[in-house]
Chain A
Amino acid sequence: MNIYVCVKQVPDTEARVQVGGDGKSIDSAQINTILNPFDEFAVEQALLTREQHGGEVVALSLGDDGAAAAIRTAMAMGADKGIHLKTDQSADDPLQVGKELAGQIGGSGVDVVFFGKQAVGNEHGQVGLIVAELLAVPAISEVSSLEVSAGSASGKREIEGGSESFETPLPAVFTTQKGLNEPRYPSLKGRMAAKKKPIEVREVTLDEPLLTVEKISYPPERSRGMIVGEGAAAVPELVRLLKEEAKVL
């Protein structure tokens, strides 16, 4: 099978995030980056699909040099090839990114494309579905179980308080999340091998973004509240406060 997985390098979830001097950007100088945690599930599912059906896993990432790091991690996990869609543009707009990815994936004879459900950082949760719509192929988001067979797939996606079962012909797009699989850690051997695998670099120019950042600010600080008391003895006062002061009970 011809398998693509789209990956993104993102700020570490532990990172301290500082608003830049212009009030419209994030000061990224001090921020460590990692492969988007949701994309680990996507890479793992791509590898499982290859193990079952044979074929090749291509990792695709759009962005500046950081994107190459995401591809290397995917390769260290086991992806066969990488394509780096290189641009210095900010690539924050999901439609703009989706259009470029769809343009690159379309016509490649792909059977399945995996995405993370959402990229940590911008947290749009849109790109996979946009790509599928633009390619006019079915997309299932937030899959929690997946069975791929020749020409079709079935599985479940999570909804509030339950799940939906689906069936679809291939080619199709899937966005992945926790619970679908346990992503493997790249082994030392995997890391060494990844260094030798080819990354094809394609220079790209994105459309104008349609979402414009006007302002980035910190959320209102939650003021430290009160310690009502210690142990079970504090309970009557806690309940009273929730009823009379906070009025939430």
Chain B
Amino acid sequence: MAINVLVAVEVRDGELKKSGREGLGLARKLVEQAGGGEVAVVLTVDSAAELPARLAAAGADKVLVALRSEFANYCPGGFAAAVAAACANVSAAVVIIPASALGKDLAPRVSARLGAPAASDCIEASFADGKLTATRPAYGGKVRVTVSFAGEPAILCIRTNVFDTLPADSSRNAVVQDLPVELGEAELKLKITGVERTSGERPDVSEADIVVSGGRGMQDGENFALLEQLAQSLGAGIGASRAAVDAGWRSHGDQVGQTGKFVSPSLYVACGISGAVQHLAGMASAKVIVAINKDAEAPIFKVANYGVVGDLFEVLPALNEELSKQS
């Protein structure tokens, strides 16, 4: 049974986000498991430039370009209308949307428009015996729920940094088509009027491949300079526990945990964080966890692959020095 899979990709500042390539990787896997079909991408942009060719190289067979001046910024109603139109265009059985701020806003809108089920924050998905299932963490990561879908398309909102991308293959070609989208008054009522960057060059915790996080043990906002330096040499994003956020040392957007962000980086370094269940909810799916804590009994050591028991004010400077020696 062949199925067509549609991927909604995110573009910021003219650049394709990595989550789009992860979506394409999953889409190709699902099509293969189903025994064939087409992988299409819907691109909602005000200028497409090189993007279709890049999407072809990342695994797309078809690129539907919804080009509108209103799409310079995120246009919630307009993007939802475009994804819905693209679903119809390719008779999509599955739609993949990244679980980013944009994607988490978009997926439920598409679900409501199409009357189709959406699974949030998926970390696994597969197609077997004619049936799609997806697995998502719930109850703060204490369990994993596997769901199936009645009605098409099945909408999968996928967590960043979990699904494999395909190696870019520039010899691949895709059919590129314009996708006309009718925007009514309803779609344009809400306006995103601007985008502000706060954090300079550090990647956001939810997107970073390495995250270094500080907790109450950091003692002061200024001491985060130690983590800034570590993040600088590792190209990491900086996270925080709720205790550090509530103390005003870091902004809310940096909070990792059940009431903050869910992250799945390849390396998570927890400094002066005890490892409360609500914090673990946000980071226990990291591939490798390092804990630096002066209390050998701290629960964070139960999930850490590598632990250093000690005062972070000694360990972090030594770590920064060691890394600068080696680079």
Contacts and interface: CB of A to CB of B under 8 A. Distances in A.
Which of A11, A93, A163 gathers most chain B CB within 10 Å? Answer: A163
Interface in A123-175: 123-130, 132-134, 136, 138-142, 144, 156-169, 172
Contacts of B120: 123-126
Contact of B301 (A169, A227, A229): A227
A130 B105 CA distance: 10
Contacts of B195: 159, 162-165
A217 interface: yes
B interface secondary structure, majority? mixed
A164 B73 contact: yes
B191 A167 contact: yes
B143 A19 contact: yes
A231 B145 contact: no
Contact of B144 (A14, A37, A218): A218
B115 interface: yes
A227 B309 contact: yes
A219 B310 contact: no
Given A222-B284, A238-B290, A230 B117 contact: no
Contact of B306 (A128, A177, A222, A225): A225
A136 B252 CA distance: 30
Interface string B174-195: 0000000000001001111111
A15 B245 CA distance: 23
B202 to A, nearest CB: 8
Interface stretch (B36-44, B48-56, B85-93, B259-267): B259-267
A235 interface: yes
B191 A213 contact: no
A163 B322 contact: no
Contacts of A229: 308-309
B139 A11 contact: yes
A134 B199 CA distance: 36
Interface stretch (B20-28, B96-104, B221-229): B96-104
Contacts of A235: 308, 315, 318-319, 322
A160 B150 contact: no
Contact of B288 (A95, A127, A246): A246
A169 B190 CA distance: 7
A160 B205 CA distance: 8
A105 B144 CA distance: 32
Given A213-B146, A217-B143, 8 more contacts: A17-B143, A162-B197, A211-B147, A212-B150, A213-B145, A236-B322, A238-B306, A242-B288
26 contacts: A17-B143, A38-B259, A94-B108, A95-B111, A95-B115, A120-B140, A124-B120, A130-B109, A130-B111, A138-B190, A139-B109, A158-B253, A164-B196, A166-B193, A216-B144, A217-B146, A218-B143, A219-B141, A219-B285, A225-B304, A225-B306, A231-B315, A232-B314, A235-B315, A239-B326, A249-B234
Interface of A: 11, 13-17, 19, 26, 37-38, 93-95, 98, 120-130, 132-134, 136, 138-142, 144, 156-169, 172, 177-179, 208-219, 222, 224-232, 234-236, 238-239, 241-242, 246, 248-249
Interface of B: 73-74, 76-77, 80, 100-102, 104-105, 107-109, 111-113, 115-121, 133, 136-151, 186, 189-199, 202-204, 206-207, 210, 234, 245, 251-253, 255, 258-260, 266-267, 277-278, 281, 284-285, 287-290, 296, 301-311, 314-315, 317-319, 322-323, 326
User: Would you list the 8 A-B pairs with minimal beta carbon distance, nearest first?
Assistant: A179-B252, A133-B112, A210-B117, A160-B204, A231-B310, A138-B190, A232-B318, A225-B305
